[in-house]
């Protein structure tokens, strides 16, 4: 990587997108610590030599080394990873706002790629891909055991070419097959518009290199005629991004020199306080010319007008830094749902010109000293995604395997929100963020204009519940499942009217029997039911 590219990566990234090009401080710190375990390294060298010389098929040195490096990350937290040449290039493209492919951010679960979030206004989003979808096949090829880098390689391709994804979605017994046409993805970080009654609406989809400049420019455009009376900052489904951008965005709305976020880690360079600085959000833009018709500078009115920040389960990391800072300083009311709960900072250390490692090096804390790792940011005013109830069912940080523990809280139901399970086979209807059908935005406007704020519409919730129960009743009439409410073999629900079916409440010393249900057969034959017992698989008498 040349000097120019290396410089463009000198950034801290706290979202799913990237990190800080930590200098050789990490290596130096490691050398200052415990001495290298020479005996264990000799054992590693022996294994390396044995595989290289005796494995049934030849394996290159490069492949063995890369696999060994990947193995070192297998038991770390889910945000630490080895970045091969493709992954390293992908990270650079994302942080700079453009890349080719489908427009989804993916993680891993059960050895398969899982959608962290579809990126707004991309082929994946338009095709109906939802956060939490598990990708089981790519063009018919099973993804079980596939590395994320391999999955990314299969999903990337030339624009206008078609790819077929097979999706497993919670609440659906049958997989979904989705055909998507690849395109050149250019993520638009900031969108804005003026709502009725002079309320400014600004949406940040990701925190990228140009986010602060774009935000400042659009705030200026919103005030060219007259100063807006209120402001809504939309961070819903924003997975995070660059720490510098999060600090710059916070600086636009906070008084100068107040604390935005602090980070704490094992090495000295990880222990820092970040403060609001005017230069962070005015850099590259006008100071004097950014005035409304009334003469008020952008830097003045955005710090004083009434403000609401919209968040949901898909708001992560950098989004949580901004929401937490504005909430702690009393600058804005946070509205929506509890956020994702990613309170860690990733740093990127280059290993060569085109490879590196992304390593979790610190936890971050809001101005009041809160760690939101696992817990997320709790909104001041809870409002459902839609009038019919919540739509997004993205697993939070706490649901990721090997997530970092928040030492200040006990992970139980009081602090860890449950993932809502879909009780209907009807695909949720996605609304447009900032559109006329955006329920949370309408409630934010109600709050800013002094009207009543509703969490949802009870009548519509009741209608939706009635519709779901009707669908369940119809399913029960057509299937022979003797357990009310079960959604088939893959369904998460257990029978609630017979506690003995639960392993925790079983009256005997034997493990609780698990029921295996086959909803349908290909030829329409009667459905058979089985129980897995200590004695084996036993048929269930109907």
Question: What does the DSSP assignment read for 315-351?
Answer: --THHHHHHHHHHHTTSSEEEES------EEEEEEES
* Confidence at residue 103, expressed as pLDDT on a 0 to 100 scale: 83
Measured distance CA(215)–CA(322) in Å, rounded: 14
User: pLDDT tens track of the chain, all 542 residues?
Assistant: 443 343 433 344 444 333 333 333 444 444 455 688 888 899 999 999 999 999 999 999 999 998 998 888 888 888 888 888 877 777 776 666 555 688 887 777 778 888 877 777 789 988 989 878 899 999 999 999 887 778 888 888 878 889 999 999 887 889 999 999 988 877 778 999 999 999 999 999 889 888 998 998 899 889 877 889 999 999 998 888 888 999 999 999 999 999 999 999 988 988 999 999 876 555 544 443 444 444 446 667 899 999 999 999 889 999 999 999 999 999 999 999 999 889 888 888 888 888 888 888 999 999 999 999 888 999 999 999 988 888 776 667 777 767 777 767 666 544 444 444 444 444 446 677 898 989 999 999 999 999 999 998 887 777 766 666 665 555 444 433 333 333 333 333 333 333 333 333 333 333 333 333 333 434 444 444 444 444 444 454 44
Residue 66 in tokens? 């890369």
Count, residues in the chain: 542
CB 185 within 8 A of CB 98: yes
CB 380 within 8 A of CB 327: yes
Residues β-bridged to residue 365: 262
Please work out, in degrees rounded to the nearest 5, the angle formed at the alpha carbon of residue 82 by the alpha carbons of 183 and 25.
120
Q: Which of 174, 155, 152 is nearest to 163 (CA)?
A: 155
Residue 223, sorted as left (phi over 0), alpha (psi -120 to 50) or beta, turns out to be alpha
Q: Which helix (H) or strand (E) holds 454?
A: none
- Residue identified by tokens 């000293």 is 369
Backbone φ and ψ for 327, nearest 5 degrees, come out as -70, -45
Backbone φ and ψ for 275, nearest 5 degrees, come out as -115, 155
Residue 117 in tokens? 């979030």
* Confidence at residue 96, expressed as pLDDT on a 0 to 100 scale: 60
Q: Which helix (H) or strand (E) holds 162?
A: strand 162-168
Write down the catalytic residue from 317, 319, 347, 371.
317
328 is catalytic: yes
Taking the CA atoms of 288, 289, 292 and 293 in sequence, report the sign of the dihedral they define.
positive
Q: Is 95 helix (H, G, I), strand (E, B) or coil?
A: helix
Class of domain 3-186: mainly beta
Residues β-bridged to residue 199: 195, 230
pTM for the structure as a whole: 0.67
Residue 538 in tokens? 């036993």
Measured distance CA(48)–CA(55) in Å, rounded: 10
| CATH code for the domain defined by 190-458 | 3.90.226.10
Measured distance CA(410)–CA(87) in Å, rounded: 35
* Greatest Cα-to-Cα distance within the chain, rounded to the nearest angstrom: 82
Half-sphere exposure of residue 173, counting CA atoms within 13 Å on the CB side? 14
Strands 344-350 and 20-21: parallel
Range(s) of the chain covered by CATH 2.30.42.10: 3-186
Q: Which of 490, 493, 443 is nearest to 468 (CA)?
A: 493
Exposure string (b/e) for 49-66, b if CB count within 10 Å is 16 or more? eeeeeeeeeeeeeeebee
CB 340 within 8 A of CB 382: no
Write down the catalytic residue from 170, 227, 297, 342.
342
Q: Which helix (H) or strand (E) holds 8?
A: helix 3-8
* Confidence at residue 379, expressed as pLDDT on a 0 to 100 scale: 97
| Nearby residues of 451 by Cβ (< 8 Å), 6 or more positions away | none
Write down the catalytic residue from 133, 183, 328, 384.
328
Measured distance CA(47)–CA(55) in Å, rounded: 11
Q: Which of 184, 185, 183, 203 is nearest to 193 (CA)?
A: 203
Measured distance CA(539)–CA(525) in Å, rounded: 16
Q: Which of 180, 186, 181, 221 is nearest to 200 (CA)?
A: 221
* Confidence at residue 351, expressed as pLDDT on a 0 to 100 scale: 85
* Confidence at residue 211, expressed as pLDDT on a 0 to 100 scale: 92
* Confidence at residue 204, expressed as pLDDT on a 0 to 100 scale: 96
**Number of Cβ within a 10 Å radius of residue 90:** 21
Exposure string (b/e) for 444-464, b if CB count within 10 Å is 16 or more? bbebbeeeebeebbeeebeeb
Measured distance CA(62)–CA(240) in Å, rounded: 33
Range(s) of the chain covered by CATH 3.90.226.10: 190-458
Q: Determine the number of helices (DSSP H) and then strands (DSSP E) in the chain.
A: 14, 23
Q: Is 537 helix (H, G, I), strand (E, B) or coil?
A: strand
317 is catalytic: yes
**Number of Cβ within a 10 Å radius of residue 328:** 19
* Confidence at residue 461, expressed as pLDDT on a 0 to 100 scale: 72
Measured distance CA(377)–CA(317) in Å, rounded: 10
């Amino acid at each position: 990587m040349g000097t120019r590219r290396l410089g463009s990566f000198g950034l801290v990234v706290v979202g799913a997108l990237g990190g800080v090009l930590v200098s050789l401080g990490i290596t130096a710190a490691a050398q200052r610590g415990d001495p290298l375990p020479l005996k264990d390294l000799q054992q590693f060298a022996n294994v390396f030599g044995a595989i290289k010389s005796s494995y049934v098929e030849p394996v290159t040195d490069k492949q063995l080394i890369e696999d060994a490096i990947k193995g070192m990350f297998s038991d770390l937290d889910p945000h630490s990873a080895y970045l091969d040449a493709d992954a390293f290039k992908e990270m650079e493209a994302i942080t700079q706002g453009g890349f080719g492919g489908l427009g989804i951010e993916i993680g891993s679960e059960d050895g398969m790629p899982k959608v962290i979030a579809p990126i707004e206004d991309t082929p994946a989003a338009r095709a109906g891909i939802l956060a939490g979808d598990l990708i089981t096949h790519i063009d018919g090829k099973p993804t079980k055991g596939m590395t994320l880098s391999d999955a990314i390689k299969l999903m990337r391709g030339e624009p206008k070419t078609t790819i077929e994804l097979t999706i497993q979605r919670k609440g659906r017994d049958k997989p979904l097959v989705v055909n998507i046409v690849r395109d050149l993805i250019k993520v638009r970080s900031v969108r804005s518009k003026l709502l009725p009654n002079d309320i400014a609406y600004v949406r940040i989809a990701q925190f990228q290199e140009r986010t602060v400049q774009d935000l400042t420019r659009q705030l200026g455009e919103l005030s060219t005629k007259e100063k807006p009376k209120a402001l809504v900052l939309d961070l819903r489904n924003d997975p995070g991004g660059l720490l510098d951008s999060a600090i710059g965005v916070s600086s636009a709305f906070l008084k100068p020199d107040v604390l935005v976020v602090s980070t704490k880690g094992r090495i000295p360079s990880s222990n820092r306080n970040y403060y609001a600085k005017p230069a962070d959000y005015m850099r590259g833009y006008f100071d004097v010319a950014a005035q409304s018709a009334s003469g008020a500078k952008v830097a003045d009115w955005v710090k004083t007008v009434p403000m609401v920040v919209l968040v949901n389960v898909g708001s992560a990391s950098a989004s949580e830094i901004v929401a937490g800072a504005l909430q702690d300083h009393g600058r804005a009311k946070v509205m929506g749902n509890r956020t994702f709960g990613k309170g860690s900072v990733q740093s990127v250390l280059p290993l060569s010109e085109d490879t590196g490692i992304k390593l979790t090096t610190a936890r971050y804390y809001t101005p009041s000293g809160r760690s939101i790792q696992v817990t997320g940011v709790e909104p001041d005013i809870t409002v459902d995604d839609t009038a019919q109830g919540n739509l997004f069912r993205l697993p939070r940080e706490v649901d990721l395997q090997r997530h970092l523990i928040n030492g200040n809280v006990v992970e139980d139901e009081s602090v860890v929100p449950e993932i809502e399970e879909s009780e209907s086979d009807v695909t949720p209807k996605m609304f447009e963020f900032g559109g006329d059908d955006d329920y949370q935005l309408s409630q934010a406007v109600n709050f800013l204009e002094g009207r009543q704020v509703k969490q949802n519409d009870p009548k519509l919730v009741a209608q939706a519940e009635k519709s779901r129960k009707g669908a369940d009743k119809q399913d029960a009439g057509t299937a022979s499942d003797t357990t009310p409410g079960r959604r088939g073999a893959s369904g998460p629900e257990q029978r609630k009217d017979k506690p003995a079916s639960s392993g925790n409440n079983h009256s005997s010393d034997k493990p609780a029997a698990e029921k295996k249900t086959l909803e349908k057969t290909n030829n329409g034959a009667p459905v058979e039911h089985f129980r897995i017992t200590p004695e084996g698989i036993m048929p269930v008498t109907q």
